[in-house]
Structure 1
């Protein structure tokens, strides 16, 4: 078959999620032309999707060995280095992209986002402003400046956001993002009325992007997992062999304090922070489905110890690339709580830290963030309350099953008695304590979550009970949570 046709079909397969077909087409092209740029790029991007950044780097470097270089390849390489938490080489790659195309918006945005994640606020603001000089309507840059607190009401940027957010001719995602950004502006300006107005407008728009109704959401998100990970199946199933480096899983509801806990633990010299890997329900889930022929995690109880070990090795290889010489690696994917019972089966001896926060504070914070995965509960008060209630019931179930490998940390206690709670964390994880570990916020680690700026600051308590400032506006949320939890808040 013609190489160009094979390549085009491969990229089409990548776009629709047919990764095996995409990889097959790329390899067929390389059999004929071992240096084909498009095929190497395709395999590199597939490696990124599979969370194999080392393999991706190999493919991209083969492309860059060729005389003609393009900015896109350096951008791909920067993404791979970012996944490895190799900030220096990620920034170097972005610089190379900008040398080829100084006004490349994708490179400027990526560099700005990376600087933001490192807490370099002035440089991040400069880069976002540079993007806006070229594209005044770029929502990523506009929101970046809002996150940095560089936008005030009645400014040119606020006017731009209001025009984007109110224009029905714009696509819903753009309008939603603009409303979220405006809510940030007015929250920082302490304009309670306009903060809530824009926040709820953003939630309404975001909800239209999520097609699941309440019944379908519950069935697909909770009911199926309850059956697949029943207590009987977990008790009867096999264990994988112990592996190194040892993972420390940090989980709970989003916006509950998982980033803070990870930064505290990763202050230790023997710990590397991997951030939100989302590996368990991504590459590992796809590999398990091949073995079981069932939707993840269904059928796991039929797997032998050897088969479970093969699956665990995929994750161990992923975190080993981040660990380098460290003994422990954290994975703070909050949603791992859904499959928590499976973690000790795959990683005997692993430690699991559950971070718990006031239910209204947690849910109110979730409503303020534009999650990209189109989860309906992140912008729907009733679904969010239902999700929170089920999460609490799941955690009670997991605690009864694997209590000795599970530690629950209350966010409120952590920020009010940080040293005592941090020492308890370190003891549970088998780490020696030093008082200087409390200076975790001074480390120049990448933080790629909504909490990137907060964790750069000393511990603060202002987020405890912050929902009470909006008690009237959050009445529906509070009542929905009280129904789910069966008690008054």
Structure 2
């Protein structure tokens, strides 16, 4: 690879090679695309489009290191390559390197791109930063530059859902479906954002489902969407049949290693003791972080919205920054987000460095208020490390009936997290491990974790909200009871539900499926988990 400076244009042979490579990548043939890059660069090492194609192939292959290297080569050779800067911004952000991501975005603003692909990438990165208003403007510009392009339309519509503008979002989802009738993700998004009133959409999706007998990813989208609409119509047996089939389809596409998860929980129990915490150097004393954590679909978004309705608190969303700070300081390269190896490698880290890096990399998302909420449910794994790194942070843990909690995850199609949630036994065994770990943290670190019950809060909002704010040392504000009137974005599966007041409709919902959920119930009962909480 050459240094900075203009590269030479590709000759006709190189152009043909690159065209073949981009075409191959478009149909998912990364091997052919990679060979085309290699041949082009052997002939002309400073060929910018070839380096860019290397980066795209690496992204497709989930080879982040090569992708970083390739896009960095592109901007060295051609500083005004907006697409490469946009790709780097997204990569930096996904690694928690917010300052570098922001610097890359500044380069794109300097160049002022009008390529809709670049505009969409910038918007995606801004969304990861929690800047959903700015992201919406870029998503809208991408759609203006290339109208009628379903991927751009889908991103804009999802952003509108996060902002509570479900009417406009639904209109766009329907437009996508008109342009691309067999669009599994658009059908699923439409089903998720609005309550079904009849079976018309279900019948359309069932017909489309038959086309995808050998495509489990597409089947998962359609089946979860059908299940959701069947449940809207109170067709409980049919809903469960769809959820179960959707979970099986999704399970076929993910690599969940339960043995490795067991090893991770065992390592946490072994390593993070009161003696370990007592031996740590002082962490960062900043009192601003509030961690809301637990299992997904247990009310974490409800509680986060109650807290962030307070004038002194900003919602930073589901930040990956604490876990990423651990990875960076421990130089941990394993692609798995959490593992036994990660926790062994983080035992000797300087807590103040961890706290400093977390606060530094989350500064763009934490707003200008004195306090902020980090609502990443999986942070429950990191509680001892949080206590060491940020000793004045507050930790709020959601408690929910175990069967409702497990079923709520089982019937939710997640993006790339919670891989244990697509099979009843795996879901229940994970929940047992989680419950035992939380019991251990409470025993080892008494008084450091505030448990709040989802059911109690939904039934009696004000007394539970008052107790919560008292723990957080925040003065009472009536706005905390009107959390559903917030205009800020909600980037979780609860984006639609939290636009309405607290309700009890989800309490005990698993009982409608008691017979079908017997495998899950047996695992929990065998572990001594009380089901009547």
Question: If the length of structure 2 is used for normalisation, what is the TM-score?
Answer: 0.84
SS in 2 for 1:297: helix
Q: CA deviation at 1:259?
A: 0.4
Deviates more, 1:293-302 or 1:253-262: 293-302
Whether contact under 8 Å (2:281, 2:352) holds in the other structure is: no
Aligned to 1:387: 430
Whether contact under 8 Å (1:288, 1:296) holds in the other structure is: no
Aligned to 1:268: 310
Describe the superposition over 1:334-365 as per-residue Cα deviations: whole angstroms up to 9, x where unpaired: 11111211111111210000010011111111
Count of residue pairs the alignment pairs up: 482
Aligned to 2:450: 407
Relative distance call for 1:170 and 1:288 in structure 2 (3 A) is same
Alignment of 1:68-467 (within 5 A): 69-149=114-194, 151=196, 153-155=198-200, 157-167=201-211, 169-212=213-256, 214-219=258-263, 221-243=264-286, 246-281=288-323, 283-290=324-331, 295-304=341-350, 308-373=351-416, 375-467=418-510
Whether contact under 8 Å (1:289, 1:297) holds in the other structure is: no
Whether contact under 8 Å (1:234, 1:301) holds in the other structure is: no
Structure 1: gaps (5+ residues): none
Describe the superposition over 1:303-345 as per-residue Cα deviations: whole angstroms up to 9, x where unpaired: 33xxx32332222123321233211111111111112111111
Partners of 1:198 and 1:67 lie apart in 2 by 46
Deviates more, 1:82-91 or 1:339-348: 82-91
Q: CA deviation at 1:38?
A: 4.3
Aligned to 2:20: none
Describe the superposition over 1:266-315 as per-residue Cα deviations: whole angstroms up to 9, x where unpaired: 0001111122113333x2232033189993222333233xxx32332222
Q: Which has the larger radius of gyration?
A: 2
Relative distance call for 1:175 and 1:262 in structure 2 (3 A) is same
Q: CA RMSD in A?
A: 2.5
SS in 2 for 1:110: helix
Structure 2: gaps (5+ residues): 2-44, 335-339
Q: CA deviation at 1:440?
A: 1.1
Q: CA deviation at 1:241?
A: 2.5
Q: CA deviation at 1:486?
A: 5.0
Partners of 2:526 and 2:219 lie apart in 1 by 32
Task: Give the one of 474, 480, 484 matched to 2:517.
Answer: 474
SS in 2 for 1:405: coil
